[in-house]
A and B are shown apart, each in its own frame.
Chain A
Amino acid sequence: MTAILALIKKDLILFRSDRRALLLSLLMPIVLGSFFGYLFGGTGSTEHAKIDIALTMQDHSDIGNKIAAGLRADPTLHIIDMPQAEAQQQVTKGKLNAAIVIPAGFGDQAGAALFGQNAKPDITVYYDPSQNMVLPMVKGVLTQQVMQVVTADMFGGPGGKKMVADSLARLEAANEKDATNAYPALHDLLKSVLHFQDQIAKDDTDTTSATVVHGMSMPFATVDQALTSGPNKYNGYAHSFAGMSVQFILFMAIDAGIGILLARRMGVWNRLLAAPITVTTLLTARGLSCAIIACALQCFIFAVAGLLFHVSIDGSMAGFIGIIVSFSLMTASFGLLIAAFGRTPEAARGLAVFATLIMVMLGGAWVPAFLFPQWLQTFTLAIPTRWAVDGLDAMTWRGLGFDAAVAPIAVLLGFAVLFGGLAVWKFGRATPNEAH
């Protein structure tokens, strides 16, 4: 026990004495966690970023102007008026996500097309292919605005009245030429619509209230409510700090593993083994010191997240501690695995960084795992970092109880045993001549 404690103390002193590495281990996850947290919605108290869209208005009709006004009023869009050529250029350069071109005569053509009498006019939408998530969103907002404005005009506006009157006149003229071509039902319908339009115009003149919109409108309104079990709303920083702490603690474990390889190269490893201790003692001490450092780092990172960004443990504190400890043990055994399978420090570092980045990426540390395709979400359940990030999410902003931490803790401890066992086995095979 004296030997293990001395070895752990040595590792802790060495970690503390390397101030640059210590600073990086603490600072980098905080800086990146803050950045990603801001991108993913921050504390939820700030407005969502609007999407920059160019609008080229070639139709200056009443309908066209109303559509433009509707788009400008939409809370998700930031409309910038500009000529078509410039809009195309801005989207091509990636400066704007999309551009909408409303062509000349659109209002008249759209009204006629509503009743199927004319060909549909085109609205061109240019979009940045790297931002293709924006296209369906822009099309949705555009559809809503156009339908609302065009149908309102058809049922109550001057354009609609003119179109109905023209249609009625054409029908009556045709009826005079050929009585067999009479459409009494259509004639009655158009007469009724004309009467309805006159009535609405009269009502609009009489009323002093705000303008009443006639025509189609969205037949529902959504009530958006974020659901978490905790008392607070979603905090994007909670997820990003979980992800970044997992990433940088794994990097720390790489250094711990490389440290073993360097100790072997420098002869310190053999010098220690010349004492009455075993390889297992050395590995256990290294694993425990790595786990202690990982726990301390994660606690510090979440403390900073709490102070700066109000990240709190809304779920079970015991579950949070359990996940931190089990992740730290998994991390430590990952470091041992690197040392066991790495032949040289240089080769091991490259391989370990690659493996860590893959684990971090698939674990949802960069972007939440729910954005992955379904098959990938299922596959990533085999990645320990996924359980760590999901577990930390569950204990922080999701505010879930200890029962939600049990599975992540069990899986992370399972990986710790697997990695640690493989490391001990490999060390035994790699040094078969050592008198352990």
Chain B
Amino acid sequence: MNNPPLLRVVDLVKSYGERRAVDSISFQVERGQTLGLIGPNGAGKSTTVSMLCGLLRPDSGQVFIDGQTLTAGNSAVKQKIGLVPQDLALIDDLSARENLKLFGAMYGLKGAVLKSRCDEVLALVKLEDRAGDKPGTFSGGMKRRLNIAAAMLHDPQLLILDEPTVGVDPQSRNAIFDSLELIKSQGRTLIYTSHYMEEVERLADHIVIIDHGKLLANESPQALHRRLPAQAALQVDLAQAASAAVLEQLTRQHGVTGVEGDAQNIHILLTDGAYAMPVLNWLTAQAGTATHFATAKTRLEDIFLSLTGRRLRD
């Protein structure tokens, strides 16, 4: 018999007064899978995460972890979840090790097992040499890594990371990602929410996009890319501006789905990256020398914006 998905969310609904923050969302996460949960500000991500962790009771719908319903007082189910909250949920006046001991004890760890797990997770996030120091003396990135370590102590089956890289520099973000990729390689199941599309693209096997509390997409990154007519883009900067006639003919070239930019700096959308060189050759033959050109795959951000729109959110 096949194992059930590690997480199954069925018709989850949560309202605050008249506003429906989460509106009948359903999805599931298979064992060992990394799910990217993305959406604009106020889309309902945090509310969803809170319900997945048992911090909020849904108005209706159910959350199943490893086949068991997450309900009030179901400690066994909560034991399977590790939460890395968006806030730095650390106590500044306790050392890194004391923080870990506290959170470990919340999951029933004690004695030699707790000590051993503290050592392991400190090594995982590369903070073993700072175990005795207080988080108040840490950089933002180190605090974020300790936040992750605290969630890993009890060896959870499902690790939920709510924007774990907010406010850290690129080096720290890279270090966090090294840790997360190591965790992922161990076969652990992850849910990752972030505003940074490249992070989700790098880590996730499956993506859920929500907006206004509704589920807009629930599929693999490849399937999401296929939703867009353009799969690649060609950026060409010309020495001289192209004529309107050339630009009009460009839109009708084979493989071209759209032309953006101005007459000298042209952004060309292509159905496939293979059309890039023929289109570039045609354009330079018609409009003269290109001073710069570059090709790129369509990004998750393009898909995200096409699904959620470009309207500014709060």
- A residues in contact (CB < 8 Å) with B: 2-3, 5-7, 10, 13-14, 17-18, 266-268, 270-278, 433-436
Determine whether the beta carbon of B94 is less than 8 Å from that of A10. Answer: yes
Residues of B within 8 A of A273 (CB): 55
Among B14, B55, B75, B85, find the residue whose CB has the most chain A CB atoms closer than 10 A.
B55
Determine whether the beta carbon of B98 is less than 8 Å from that of A276. Answer: no
Q: For residues 110 through 167 of chain B, which have their beta carbon under 8 Å from a beta carbon of chain A?
A: 110, 150
Determine whether the beta carbon of A275 is less than 8 Å from that of B107. Answer: yes
Residues of B within 8 A of A274 (CB): 53-55, 78, 81, 83, 85
Determine whether the beta carbon of A6 is less than 8 Å from that of B105. Answer: yes
Q: For residues 16 through 74 of chain B, which have their beta carbon under 8 Å from a beta carbon of chain A?
A: 50, 53-57, 70-73
Top 3 A-B pairs ranked by shortest CB distance?
A: A267-B87, A6-B105, A271-B89
Determine whether the beta carbon of B94 is less than 8 Å from that of A2. Answer: no
Residues of B within 8 A of A436 (CB): 72-73
CA distance in complex: A17, B98 (Å): 13
* Any A CB within 8 A of the CB of B304: no
Given A6-B106, A10-B98, A276-B78, 17 more pairs with CB closer than 8 A: A2-B108, A2-B110, A5-B105, A7-B102, A10-B91, A10-B102, A14-B91, A268-B91, A270-B50, A270-B85, A271-B85, A271-B87, A273-B55, A274-B78, A274-B85, A435-B54, A436-B73
Residues of B within 8 A of A278 (CB): 73
Which chain A residue shows the least CB distance to B14? A433
Which chain B residue shows the least CB distance to A271? B89
The number of inter-chain residue pairs (CB within 8 angstroms) is 89
Which chain A residue shows the least CB distance to B51? A435
CA distance in complex: A2, B53 (Å): 21
Which chain A residue shows the least CB distance to B56? A433
Determine whether the beta carbon of B101 is less than 8 Å from that of A13. Answer: no
Determine whether the beta carbon of B94 is less than 8 Å from that of A14. Answer: yes
CB distance from B167 to the nearest CB of A (A): 14
Determine whether the beta carbon of A3 is less than 8 Å from that of B81. Answer: no
A270-B55, A436-B72 given; A18·B83 CB < 8 A:
no
Contact residue range for chain B? 35 or more
A13-B98, A14-B94, A275-B107 given; A434·B55 CB < 8 A:
yes
Determine whether the beta carbon of A271 is less than 8 Å from that of B83. Answer: yes
CA distance in complex: A6, B23 (Å): 39
Determine whether the beta carbon of B57 is less than 8 Å from that of A267. Answer: no
CB distance from B202 to the nearest CB of A (A): 26
A10-B102, A13-B98, A275-B78 given; A268·B90 CB < 8 A:
yes
CA distance in complex: A13, B107 (Å): 20
Residues of B within 8 A of A2 (CB): 105, 108-110
CB distance from A305 to the nearest CB of B (A): 30
Cross-interface CB contact of B88 among A13, A267, A434, A435, cutoff 8 Å: A267
CA distance in complex: A74, B151 (Å): 78
CA distance in complex: A292, B301 (Å): 54
Which chain A residue shows the least CB distance to B106? A275
Residues of B within 8 A of A272 (CB): 89, 103, 106
Determine whether the beta carbon of B57 is less than 8 Å from that of A434. Answer: yes
Determine whether the beta carbon of B102 is less than 8 Å from that of A6. Answer: yes
A13-B94, A434-B56, A436-B73 given; A270·B89 CB < 8 A:
yes
Residues of A within 8 A of B102 (CB): 6-7, 10
Which chain B residue shows the least CB distance to A4? B105
CA distance in complex: A277, B79 (Å): 10
CA distance in complex: A2, B102 (Å): 10
A13-B98, A436-B73 given; A267·B108 CB < 8 A:
no
CA distance in complex: A267, B90 (Å): 9
Determine whether the beta carbon of A267 is less than 8 Å from that of B86. Answer: yes
* Any A CB within 8 A of the CB of B93: yes
Determine whether the beta carbon of A3 is less than 8 Å from that of B56. Answer: no
Which chain A residue shows the least CB distance to B47? A433
Cross-interface CB contact of B101 among A6, A14, A17, cutoff 8 Å: A6
Residues of A within 8 A of B101 (CB): 6
CB distance from B162 to the nearest CB of A (A): 10
Determine whether the beta carbon of B72 is less than 8 Å from that of A268. Answer: no
Can you list 19 A-B pairs with a CB-CB distance of less than 8 A? A2-B105, A2-B108, A2-B110, A3-B106, A6-B105, A7-B105, A10-B102, A13-B94, A14-B93, A18-B93, A268-B89, A268-B91, A271-B87, A274-B83, A275-B78, A433-B14, A434-B56, A435-B56, A435-B70
CB distance from B38 to the nearest CB of A (A): 21
Which chain B residue shows the least CB distance to A270? B55
Determine whether the beta carbon of A276 is less than 8 Å from that of B106. Answer: yes
